[in-house]
A and B are shown apart, each in its own frame.
Chain A
Amino acid sequence: MNNHLKALREDRGWTQGTLADRLGVSRQTVNALETGRYDPALPLAFRIARLFGQPIEAIFIPSEEPDAPARG
Chain B
Amino acid sequence: MPGVRRFQWTKTGVTSTLDTIAARRQTGGMTSKLDRQDRSEGDRARARAYHREFWPGIVAYAVVLTGVLLWGDLDGQSPWRFLWAVLPVIPALWIVRAVLRHVRRSDDYQRLLLLQGFGGGFAVAMIASVTLAFLEIAGLGLTGTGWLIYGAGMLGWIVTGAVAGRR
Contact = CB atoms under 8 A, between A and B. Distances in A.
Report whether chain A binds chain B: yes
Interface stretch (B38-46, B61-69, B73-81, B121-129): B38-46
A62 B15 CA distance: 11
Given A27-B37, A27-B39, A27-B40, A8 B109 contact: no
A8 B4 CA distance: 8
A36 B106 CA distance: 20
Interface of A: 4, 7-11, 13-18, 20-21, 24-29, 31-33, 37-38, 40-41, 44, 52-55, 57-59, 61-62, 65
A44 B7 CA distance: 20
Interface of B: 1-4, 6-7, 9, 12-14, 16, 18, 21-22, 24-25, 30-31, 33-43, 46, 106-110, 112-113, 165, 167
Consensus secondary structure, chain A interface: helix
Nearest to B38: A17
A54 B33 CA distance: 25
Given A29-B109, A54-B7, A11 B40 contact: no
A30 to B, nearest CB: 8
A21 B40 contact: yes
Max count, chain A CB within 10 A of own CB: residue among B21, B106, B165: B21
Contact of B1 (A11, A13, A29): A11
A20 B7 contact: no
Contacts of B4: 7-8, 11
B16 A10 contact: no
B107 A24 contact: yes
A26 B12 contact: no
Given A7-B21, A10-B25, A27 B38 contact: yes
Contacts of A14: 34
A53 B1 contact: yes
B14 A11 contact: no
15 contacts: A11-B24, A13-B34, A15-B34, A16-B35, A25-B42, A26-B109, A27-B37, A29-B107, A29-B109, A52-B1, A55-B7, A57-B9, A57-B14, A59-B7, A65-B13
